[in-house]
């Protein structure tokens, strides 16, 4: 299979197909998608050895994931890997999965400096993690999953968290819930802060109980909420995984969902489909967002001195049985 055949299937010139394969930033998005689809359907494999001699790149990027404790039960990570792979695999670029930790951070920095990796995508970084700042200071290619807590010149991809939480608030109000509450995400993260702010802008008198995006925190927070606010009849849980822990607490307390308490989550992850009943939730398109992270990293590699940018996806409400 040749590059000419890829160009024919995609309906573009050979030069355009070549620019996509080599990660050039000067390609229209619709044409880029067409070439990526053609590469996938034809089974085209780039000549990586020849390309590396020209580009002086390793044709490998790192995906820094949370440590194993934070990965446990996280329904997002498989979608992140799938989205990144969808972009880089057809281009013959290797994806190196790395768990964050003191040793791994230093290894990633060393691999970048020594040319073993061309760039990295950081997922779920701790607010105090020094790695983003060190990568920026060293001028190394990096893309962040989610808005950084403090402003910094780094490219990131996120969803409009505030607007998504407002959708949840409007949904609960439309169901005529009279006593509305929220279980928040961690307030030292942008996602946790933005989801709370967006919800309170829509429901300013909501009862607030804090969680940390884990299933167990959803259990604890719902138990606390029923103690302090037994008449609650509508709850926005700021992640599907927390809702997955919170809904069984309602069942054990004799509260039917959604008849007695309507519940809305956030993410539209696989966890939304394992609750009983299935969860009404705010959708963020994780796979598409991850694919965009990969594209943004490739653009940096093609144009190393381009300014940092941000891409923010819009959320939508997925109505199921819980509210």
Q: Chain-centre distance of CA 292, in angstroms? A: 10
- DSSP string over 182-227: EEE--TTSHHHHHHHHHHHHH-TT-EEEE--SSHHHHHHHHHHHHH
Per-residue pLDDT of 136-160, as tens digits, reads: 888 888 999 999 988 899 999 999 9
pLDDT > 90: what percent of the chain? 59
Overall average pLDDT of the 225-238 stretch: 97
Query: What is the overall mean pLDDT for the chain?
Result: 88
Place of tokens 């961690």: 186
Peptide bond into 258 cis (omega under 30): yes
Per-residue pLDDT of 50-66, as tens digits, reads: 555 455 667 889 898 87
Strands of the sheet containing 234-237, edge to edge, are: 207-210, 180-184, 234-237, 262-267, 280-283, 316-318
Q: Is the pLDDT of residue 20 over 50?
A: yes
Contact 269, 296 (CB under 8 A): no
Q: Is the pLDDT of residue 78 over 70?
A: yes
**pLDDT for residue 53:** 44
**pLDDT for residue 169:** 98
Looking at the chain, how many residues does it have? 323
Confidence of residue 18 (pLDDT cuts 50, 70, 90): confident
Q: Is the pLDDT of residue 287 over 50?
A: yes
Overall average pLDDT of the 104-114 stretch: 71
CA pair distance 186, 174, nearest whole angstrom: 27
User: Cα-flanking dihedrals φ and ψ of residue 207, to 5°?
Assistant: -75, 135
Per-residue pLDDT of 161-197, as tens digits, reads: 999 999 999 999 999 999 999 999 999 999 999 999 9
Confidence of residue 264 (pLDDT cuts 50, 70, 90): very high
User: Cα-flanking dihedrals φ and ψ of residue 310, to 5°?
Assistant: -135, 145
Q: Whole-prediction pTM value?
A: 0.80
Distances in whole angstroms, Cα of residue 267 to Cα of each of 42, 61, 104, 107: 33, 26, 28, 31
Among residues 243, 319, 314, the alpha carbon closest in space to that of 285 is found at 314
Helix (H, G, I), strand (E, B) or coil at 267: strand
Report the run of H or E that residue 102 belongs to, with start and end. Answer: helix 102-113
């Amino acid at each position: 299979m040749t590059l000419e055949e890829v160009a024919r299937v995609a309906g573009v010139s050979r030069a355009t197909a070549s620019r996509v394969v080599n990660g050039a930033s000067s390609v229209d998005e619709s044409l880029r998608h067409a070439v990526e689809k053609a590469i996938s359907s034809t089974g085209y494999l780039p000549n990586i050895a020849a390309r590396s001699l020209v580009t002086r790149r390793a044709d490998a990027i790192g995906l820094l994931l949370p440590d194993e404790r934070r990965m446990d039960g996280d329904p997002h990570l498989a979608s992140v890997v799938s989205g990144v792979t969808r972009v880089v695999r057809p281009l013959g670029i290797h994806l190196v999965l790395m768990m964050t930790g003191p040793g791994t951070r230093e290894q990633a920095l060393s691999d970048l400096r020594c040319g073993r990796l061309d760039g990295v995508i950081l997922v779920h970084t701790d607010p105090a993690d020094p790695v983003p700042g060190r990568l920026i200071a060293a001028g190394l290619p990096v893309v962040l999953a989610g808005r950084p807590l403090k402003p910094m010149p780094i490219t990131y991809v996120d969803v409009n968290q505030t607007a998504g939480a407002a959708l949840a608030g409007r949904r609960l109000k439309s169901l005529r819930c009279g006593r509305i509450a929220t279980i928040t995400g961690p307030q030292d993260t942008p996602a946790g802060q933005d989801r709370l702010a967006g919800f309170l802008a829509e429901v300013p008198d909501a009862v607030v109980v804090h969680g940390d995006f884990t299933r167990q925190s959803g259990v604890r927070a719902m138990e606390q909420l029923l103690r302090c606010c037994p008449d609650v009849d509508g709850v926005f849980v700021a992640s599907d995984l927390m809702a997955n822990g919170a809904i069984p607490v309602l069942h054990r307390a004799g509260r039917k969902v959604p008849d007695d308490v309507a519940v809305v989550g956030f993410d539209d992850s696989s966890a939304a489909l394992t609750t009983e009943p299935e969860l009404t939730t705010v959708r963020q398109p994780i796979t598409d967002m991850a694919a965009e992270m990969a594209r943004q990293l490739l653009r940096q590699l093609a144009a190393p001195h381009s300014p940092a940018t941000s891409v923010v996806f819009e959320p939508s409400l997925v109505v199921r049985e819980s509210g």
